[in-house]
Amino acid sequence: MEKPTRLALLKEIAEFLNEETETYNMIQGALEYLIEGTAFTTGWIFFIDDAGQHELVAHYDLPGALSKQNCKYMCEGTCWCVQAYQNKKLTKASNIINCSRINLANRAFQEETEGITHHATVPLRSGAELFGLLNVATPYKTSYSEEDLELLESVAFQIGSAIKRIILTDQEKEAARISERNRLARDLHDSVNQLLFSVKLTAHAAQGISNEEVSRKAFNIIEETSQQAVNEMRALIWQLKPVGLERGLVKAIQNYSDVLQLNLTVSVEGLISLPSIIEENIYRIIQEGMNNTKKHAQDTEITLKLAQNQNYFYVEIKDYGIGFNMRQSNYNNSHGINNMKQRAKAIDAYIEITSEENKGTQIYIKVPL
């Protein structure tokens, strides 16, 4: 099949990127367009965070040596490319003379290298913002032409711009969701919650004027049930809109711990001043952690440490309950834990959840600012 011209290829990739709304599908699809439309035969893409940790987010037609053991040599350890990227020494498309990942894989699986010994790499960027690295390779090729590198630069810029567009779109959607939750919380508070409270007061008053024992018991049941409904409604409103968040993250967390009747100890290092999108997601993660403590830990003691410096915001939340065995439990399928991970991902945060039986559970979060 005849390959498209470079201009035609860039047009195809641009049209594809403009239609995609999910980051990982977009990256995988763009990589496939690039490899299928050029003389490159394989490619892979890393996302790299501010701490220099890389994640293999897409790959296409890797040789056997590199795809072995769930792409072990791609996922583990570090390499010159990632280090140079982290040190801001890798700023444009470059030929990589000595790739430690390829070398290790080829030594381990000499019969499955498919002639891949070198590769080219280019940062994914949008303006000054960097996201990771695009890498390509061709069998028995040790150096790529300026024309090849220019094409990589163009595709990397297209992908970087699409990543940024999706991030901004997701932020707008999240802001809209927060606004809708706030509206719903206000409506519930102003209508349903007030009606339930009125029913409770009416039932209480009716007990005092009723002469029949059966009627008084009925009104007492109505009053107690109404109070339970009011409590449930308040908890629901808290879930939708944390009362006190407008007065700061710490105050909101303390208020919610009171609602759950947890004994919360808070320590703060530095001045906590966060963008609203980060503050909202961090609050929701901590809220989910506190809910899990209330439901499962069989203990009410919980400690929270918050710290902020110029570059990062840190959270450490720990309970002292029964914990769980992370290998034997349904940990990876937990809806609450998956929600926490998704919220952390939405703000580019690193999250680590650890637990041991009879030693409690700890959640650690690191958010780049």
The string of DSSP codes covering 126-173 is ETTEEEEEEEEE-TT-----HHHHHHHHHHHHHHHHHHHHHHHHHHHH
For the chain, what are the domain ranges?
6-169, 244-369
Global pTM reads: 0.60
The pLDDT tens digits for 47-93 are 998 878 899 999 999 999 999 988 999 998 889 999 999 998 999 99
Residue 213: which pLDDT band, with cuts at 50, 70 and 90? Answer: confident
30, pLDDT greater than 90: yes
Residue 152: which pLDDT band, with cuts at 50, 70 and 90? Answer: very high
Residue 332: which pLDDT band, with cuts at 50, 70 and 90? Answer: low
Arithmetic mean of pLDDT, 302-314: 92
The one-letter amino acid code at 147 reads E
Arithmetic mean of pLDDT, 232-253: 70
115, pLDDT greater than 60: yes
Average pLDDT score, the chain: 86
Nearest to 160 by CA among 136, 135, 121, 127: 127
**244-369 shares the fold of 6-169:** no
Two tokens, residue 179: 């606004």
Q: Which numeric CATH code is attached to 244-369?
A: 3.30.565.10
Strands of the 350-355 sheet, one edge to the other: 263-269, 301-308, 312-319, 361-368, 350-355
DSSP character at residue 84? H
Two tokens, residue 116: 């891949």
The pLDDT tens digits for 228-239 are 777 777 666 666
pLDDT of the residue at 218 = 78
Topology of domain 6-169, per CATH? Beta-Lactamase (3.30.450)
